[in-house]
Amino acid sequence: MRLGRSLAIGVALGLGWMGPAAAEIYRFQILQLNDVYEITPVQGGRSGGLARVATLLKQLKAENPQTWSMLAGDYLSPSALGTAKVNGDRLAGQQMVAVLNAMGLDLATFGNHEFDISEAQLRQRLQEQKFALVTGNVLDAQGRLFPNTQTDYQFQVQATDCQKPVCPPLKVSVLGVTIDSNQAPYVRYGDPLKTLQQQIQQRQSNTDLFIGLTHLNLSQDQQLARSLPALDLILGGHEHENIQQWVGDDFTPIFKADANARTVYVHRLTYDSDRRDLQISSQLVPITPVIPEDPTTAAVVQTWLEKGFTGFRAQGFDPSAIVGRTTEPLDGLESSVRNESTALTRLIAKSYLRAVPTAELAIYNSGAIRIDDVLPSGPISQYDVIRMLPFGGAIASVEMRGELLQRVLEQGLKNRGSGGFLQTDGVQRSDRGWQIQGQPLRPDRWYRVAIADYLLTGQEKGLGFLTEQNPGLRSLQRGQDVRFAVIAQLQAQR
Ligand SMILES: [Zn+2]
């Protein structure tokens, strides 16, 4: 927006706004979601679900046809269903694109997790998308735009109150930028702030409102809000928990909804072009069973769920089979499992010990847990287990010298907050140091350990020394996939 604007923000509902006489008033709406990994509801069906979001979108369009839906990144990965192999390749977000197409999404930007999948898979997804993808700072390795992506997305809003002979349409420009975490070698990342600065400069003479559709951490969004007075609104993602803040001298609003469409934001915008005054009334809408599913979108969800389940069956799973019950909620939220032990992490650790009966202790990386959800008490299906550990991996049995074991455990603690935080069973830490099965850890002793095979690759944070070549390891054997071990543990608990 150009000179002399003032920005007034009405929070939540009920701020009717009356324009002055002979004005041009533009009313439009945006449905915002971000960080959506599951096409189905989460939390045992209590929350989320894109077929419900589709219904809300239809309702908003009935209320005001000038409604746009935007997704602020992270939708192709990681998800359990995306790991299912169909026709020889993982789905890798194909299910999500199909559902977002059915829902009628208008626009997305890249999240960092879009680059978890291979370049060929990403290019394929971009071909399948019926919605636009706007990106400013993310290019392919040759510095070109990925196919079917664009540097900006312009749309026009017609005046809803026009008391002049002519009311030209309002020109809104949406620009997209993405954080450079989980860098992929096939992607070139530019600086988000510099990119937006440049893009705004180029478009300023021909744009009334600028919206940033971003996938950045909050401090980066705050920096954009402070540094770019022309930016009117930031719709962000990446944080997984809902946020609203007003930042900078001109109080640029930043909004993020909860991951997995547990909530979405509905923004109702009113622009008075004489006063250059933008009012934003924003409502965080919980997506719950109260909202009926849109039948068309629900049918597409069901189709892809079935395709994915067929793929899992070919891998030896029976996804819909109930394998046990849990009497307490199983907390698999990333913010929990990367910092502490929960009923879910203990269940997995117990499964390691069951798989290696001679083991005195179990160790695995919390980053293997990708469900980022709490399973309520009640029945647990094999698909729930796949959701916990979508990438699976073998359980290894190995003898480890105490000295090395101590070093591994210490590093696991240092990794708190990341996926390298280690979850264990048979291990305690007290003021007197590490205890294994209640006995002080002895550096000169050998311990039989059930451990995630992945940890023996040296690829975990700070654990580069932990490879098969380390002389502190011997008698290595690889066993079954951890998901089958968890299924066996749940069946045994019945
Ligand atoms: Zn992200």
Residue type, 77: S
Cα 98 to averaged position of ligand 1 atoms, centre (Å): 21
Asked whether the predicted pLDDT for residue 439 surpasses 90, the reply is yes
First to last CA, the chain: 62
Distance from the alpha carbon of residue 215 to the mean position of ligand 1, in angstroms: 6
| Same domain (yes/no): 100, 167 | yes
Q: What's the gap in Å between 24 CA and the centre of ligand 1?
A: 39
Residue whose tokens read 């909202």: 291
Q: Mean pLDDT, the chain, as a whole number? A: 94
**DSSP one-letter code for 307:** H
Identify which has the larger pLDDT, 447 or 23: 447
Expressed in angstroms and rounded, the spacing between residue 334 Cα and the centre of ligand 1 is 13
Q: How far is CA 382 from CA 192, 317, 347, 367, 464, in A?
A: 41, 7, 14, 20, 33
Ligand 1 mean position, distance from CA 111 (Å): 5
Exposure string (b/e) for 230-247, b if CB count within 10 Å is 16 or more?
Answer: bbbbbbbbbbbebbebeb
**Nearest to 105, CA basis, from 32, 187, 17, 172:** 32
Q: Are residues 13 and 84 in the same domain?
A: yes
Contact of 369 with 344, CB cutoff 8 Å: yes
Per-residue pLDDT at 2: 35
**Helix/strand number for the chain, H first, E second:** 11, 30
Quick: pLDDT tens for 91-124: 999 999 999 999 999 999 999 999 999 999 999 9
CA of 214 relative to ligand 1 center, distance in Å: 10
Centre of ligand 1 from the C-alpha of residue 74, in Å: 6
φ, ψ of residue 344 in degrees (nearest 5) = -70, -45
Q: Which residue has the higher pLDDT, 112 or 4?
A: 112
* Together in a domain, 280 and 328: no
Residue 192 C-alpha to ligand 1 middle, in angstroms? 15
Domain boundaries, position 367: 317-493
Please give the residue that has the higher pLDDT: either 379 or 4. 379
Distance from C-alpha of 204 to C-alpha of 228, rounded to nearest angstrom: 12
Whether the predicted pLDDT of 8 surpasses 80: no
- pLDDT value for 22: 63
| Ligand 1 center–CA 35 separation, angstroms | 7
Three-state DSSP class for residue 78 = coil
- Cα–ligand 1 centroid distance for 274 (angstroms): 38
**Whole-angstrom Cα distance, residue 46 to residue 290?**
10
Residue 40 and residue 185 in one domain: yes
Whether residue 377 contacts residue 328, with contact meaning beta carbons closer than 8 Å, is answered with yes
**66 pLDDT more than 80:** yes
- 3 has pLDDT over 80: no
Residue in 123, 92, 111, 149 with CA at minimum distance from that of residue 259: 111
CATH number of the domain that 463 lies in? 3.90.780.10
On the question of a cis peptide bond just before residue 41, with omega within 30 degrees of 0, the verdict is: no
Checking phi first, is residue 230 left (phi over 0); if not, alpha (psi -120 to 50) or beta? alpha
CA of 188 to the centre of ligand 1 (A): 17
**CA 76 to chain centroid:** 9
Among 17-21, 58-62, 191-195, 371-375, where is mean pLDDT lowest? Answer: 17-21
Beta bridge partners of 401: 446
Weakest mean pLDDT among 12-26, 99-113, 312-326: 12-26
Q: How many domains does the chain have?
A: 2
Higher pLDDT, 23 or 13: 23
Q: pLDDT class for 176, splitting at 50, 70, 90?
A: very high
CA of 160 to the centre of ligand 1 (A): 36
Distance from residue 181's CA to the centre of ligand 1 (Å): 8
Report CA torsion sign: 451, 455, 457, 458: negative
Q: Flag whether pLDDT at 322 surpasses 80.
A: yes
Q: What is the pLDDT of residue 12?
A: 38
With residue 247 as reference, give the H or E element that holds it: strand 243-247
Confidence of residue 5 (pLDDT cuts 50, 70, 90): very low
Tell me the CA–centroid distance for residue 361 and ligand 1, in Å: 34
Is 312 inside a domain boundary? no
DSSP-assigned letters across all residues of 112-174: GGGGGS-HHHHHHHHHH--SEEB-SSEEETTSPPPTT-BS-EEEEE--SEE-SS--PPEEEEE
DSSP 190: -
Q: 272: closest CA among 339, 178, 333, 209?
A: 209
Q: Please tell me whether residues 261 and 326 are part of one structural domain.
A: no
Instruction: Establish if 301 belongs to a structural domain.
Output: no
On the question of pLDDT at 329 being above 60, the answer is yes
For residue 359, is it within any domain?
Answer: yes
Distance CA 310, CA 198 (A): 48
CA distance 28 to 271: 9
Task: Tell me: do 229 and 337 sit in the same domain.
Answer: no
Mean pLDDT throughout 451-455?
97
Q: What is the pLDDT of residue 21?
A: 54
The closest alpha carbon to 309, from 240, 374, 382, belongs to 382
Higher pLDDT, 43 or 297: 297
Q: Above pLDDT 90, what percent of the chain?
A: 89
Q: Can you give the pLDDT at residue 11?
A: 41
In this prediction, residues 223-245 reach a mean pLDDT of 96
Task: Encode pLDDT of 243-268 as tens digits.
Answer: 999 999 899 999 999 999 999 999 99
183 confidence band (pLDDT: 50, 70, 90): confident
Per-residue pLDDT, averaged over 428-434, amounts to: 92
Secondary structure of 400-460 in the HEC alphabet? EEHHHHHHHHHHHHHCCCCCCCEEEECEEEECCEEEECCEECCCCCEEEEEEEHHHHECCC
Distance from residue 28's CA to the centre of ligand 1 (Å): 28
Residue 295 falls inside a structural domain: no
Instruction: State the distance from the centre of ligand 1 to the C-alpha of 112, rounded, in angstroms.
Output: 5
Q: How far is the CA of 180 from the centre of ligand 1 (A)?
A: 10
pLDDT band at 457 (very low <50, low <70, confident <90, very high): very high
Instruction: Return the pLDDT at 1.
Output: 42
Q: What is the maximum alpha-carbon separation in the chain?
A: 90
Average pLDDT of span 224-239: 96
In a domain, 1, yes or no: no
Do the domain assignments include residue 150? Answer: yes
> What's the pLDDT tens digit per position in 346-402?
999 999 999 999 999 999 999 999 998 899 999 999 999 999 999 899 999 999 999
HSE (side-chain half, CA atoms, 13 Å) at 181: 12
Q: How far is the CA of 165 from the centre of ligand 1 (A)?
A: 47
Q: Rounded to the nearest whole angstrom, what is the distance from the C-alpha of residue 242 to the centroid of ligand 1?
A: 14
For ligand 1, the distance from its centroid to the CA atom of residue 95, given in whole angstroms, is 19
Cα 386 to ligand 1 centre (Å): 21
Q: What CATH number is associated with residue 281?
A: 3.60.21.10
- Which has the minimum average pLDDT: 7-21, 315-329, 432-446, 456-470? 7-21
Query: 227 with 363, same domain?
Result: no
* Neighbouring residues of 251: CB distance < 8 A, sequence distance ≥ 6: 7, 9
89 and 227 housed in the same domain: yes
Tell me how far apart the alpha carbons of residues 151 and 160 are, in angstroms, rounded to a whole number: 28
- Statement to judge: residues 365 and 470 lie in one domain: yes
Is residue 340 predicted with pLDDT exceeding 50?
yes
For residues 335 and 270, membership in a common domain is answered with: no
CA of 388 to the centre of ligand 1 (A): 19
